[in-house]
Amino acid sequence: MEDGALPMLIAPPALSTAPLEVPHRLLMGPGPSNVPARVLAAAGLPLLGHMHPQYLKIMDECQAWLRYAFQTTNELTLAVSGSGHAAMEAGIANLVEAGDPVLVAENGLWGERVSDIADRYGAEVKTTKVAGGEVFTLGQIEEELRRHRPKLLFLCHGDSSTGALQPLVGMGELCHKYGCLLFVDCITTIGGVPVFIDKWGIDVAYTGAQKVLNVPPGASPITFSPRAVQRIASRHSKVGSFYLDMTLVGRYWGVGGPRIYHHTGLISNVYVLREGLALLAEEGLEAAWARHRQSVDTLHAGLERMGLQLFVKEKAHRLPTVSTVCVPAGVKWDAVSKFIMEKYSMEIAGGLGPTAGKVWRIGLMGANANPANVTLVLAAMEDALRHVGFLRRSAL
């Protein structure tokens, strides 16, 4: 019997083949955030070849805008193919060799993730922890650096699982005093909160597309200081991941030698990233930071007027882009988010990691951080809290 005459082993699934439709949602959780029309439209532009000069020019533009967003002159600044975890893993894969002591300052879920990844790459992982919602002081970090003498320190700038904003001023200088590099997760902060990579002496930092940049996930920005590049160049062993080898990926982005093909670039993801970064540059970082500040101040005041409490007690340590709001005793967090999703088509997330079951997480990220959305979230929360019996009609 000819191959073509064999019966098919797998029949086509009994699914509708009509064009895909998805509901519109206001994404007011910790990410992804809503994507502005201009960015969304770029996803529909025709593909270019991943080595075509016109596409390479778009990559160059992304790099220039990324240097602005990160406030850095670092040459090795690019977008890794993959979501934020890919950038997180790229940092570890390139900076860590088996047996290297790595210190992870865990103040929420993301430190735990980095510890796990560093362990997989053979690092001697040491951790230091603070309770969820708290941050590390320079004094605490110095003590740990003195004790463990790590080659790399990880800090999460904006921990979306706890809503805490880790102060970074002075951390780079401290690390360098002890011969250590500073590696920072800026996924929820770039574009929404001041970040100065060069001024603060940060050696490696990464961010995500789908948070403040309002871009579909897929290409994740990362930057390496000359010190970090030097560390990579002096490795004794090959980087344990071919896909995330920054020396090779850097060459595709035109850094460190003539361009080479490494893997097929995420063409459409780079288009949308370009648009998200262009919109940020158009508004200006200072204006974007101020808009996030104003939005979150109004949000917090409104939530407190309803009798709710914020999970992060110290005002200065509250992350403007993701707020964690304590679930009052006797209230089911998921009944509230479900009500808001069903009635308002709006996402408000529950807790994650150390805050699971304890908080709601409300995101104000990028274009979503505006007075109309704040008013809507507050109205939806108030309605939901009445619905579950926490607020009575006369309460406000």
Ligand X SMILES: Cc1ncc(COP(=O)(O)O)c(C=O)c1O
User: Which residues, 6 or more positions from 92, have their beta carbon under 8 angstroms from its beta carbon?
Assistant: 102, 114, 117, 118, 121, 123, 183
Min dist. Cβ of residue 87 to ligand X (A)? 8
User: Which residues, 6 or more positions from 6, have their beta carbon under 8 angstroms from its beta carbon?
Assistant: none
Q: If binding is defined by CB under 6 A, does position 265 make contact with ligand X? A: no
Residue placing its CB nearer to ligand X in the complex, 31 or 201? 31
Q: Which helix (H) or strand (E) holds 349?
A: strand 349-350
Min dist. Cβ of residue 175 to ligand X (A)? 20
Q: If binding is defined by CB under 6 A, does position 79 make contact with ligand X? A: no
Site residues for ligand X, window 15-34 (CB under 6 A)?
A: 30-31
- Closest residue to ligand X, Cβ-based? 84
Q: How far apart are CA 394 and CA 396, in angstroms?
A: 6
User: Which residues, 6 or more positions from 232, have their beta carbon under 8 angstroms from its beta carbon?
Assistant: 94, 95, 224, 239, 246, 247
Min dist. Cβ of residue 195 to ligand X (A)? 13
Residue placing its CB nearer to ligand X in the complex, 185 or 382? 185
Q: If binding is defined by CB under 6 A, does position 160 make contact with ligand X? A: yes
Amino acid letter, 295: S
The residue within the footprint of ligand X, chosen from 100, 106, 185, 382 (CB under 6 A), is 185
Q: If binding is defined by CB under 6 A, does position 127 make contact with ligand X? A: no
How many residues at the interface with ligand X, by CB under 6 A?
14
The residue within the footprint of ligand X, chosen from 152, 165, 187, 197 (CB under 6 A), is 187
Residue placing its CB nearer to ligand X in the complex, 84 or 354? 84
Neighbours of 247 (CB within 10 A): 18
The number of angstroms, rounded, from the C-alpha of 339 to the middle of its chain's C-alpha atoms is: 27
Residue placing its CB nearer to ligand X in the complex, 80 or 378? 80
Min dist. Cβ of residue 113 to ligand X (A)? 7
The C-alpha angle with vertex 141 and arms to 139 and 142, in degrees rounded to 5, equals: 65
Residue placing its CB nearer to ligand X in the complex, 83 or 127? 83
Q: How far apart are CA 386 and CA 372, in angstroms?
A: 21
Strand 124-129 to 359-363 pairing: unpaired
Residue placing its CB nearer to ligand X in the complex, 77 or 220? 220
Q: If binding is defined by CB under 6 A, does position 84 make contact with ligand X? A: yes
Q: If binding is defined by CB under 6 A, does position 217 make contact with ligand X? A: yes
**Under 8 Å between Cβ of 95 and 104:** no
The number of angstroms, rounded, from the C-alpha of 234 to the middle of its chain's C-alpha atoms is: 29
Q: How far apart are CA 228 and CA 296, in angstroms?
A: 35
Min dist. Cβ of residue 81 to ligand X (A)? 12
The residue within the footprint of ligand X, chosen from 63, 74, 107, 188 (CB under 6 A), is 188
361 marked as binding residue: yes
Neighbours of 386 (CB within 10 A): 16
Catalog residues that contact ligand X under the rule CB under 6 A.
30-31, 83-85, 110, 156, 159-160, 185, 187-188, 208, 217
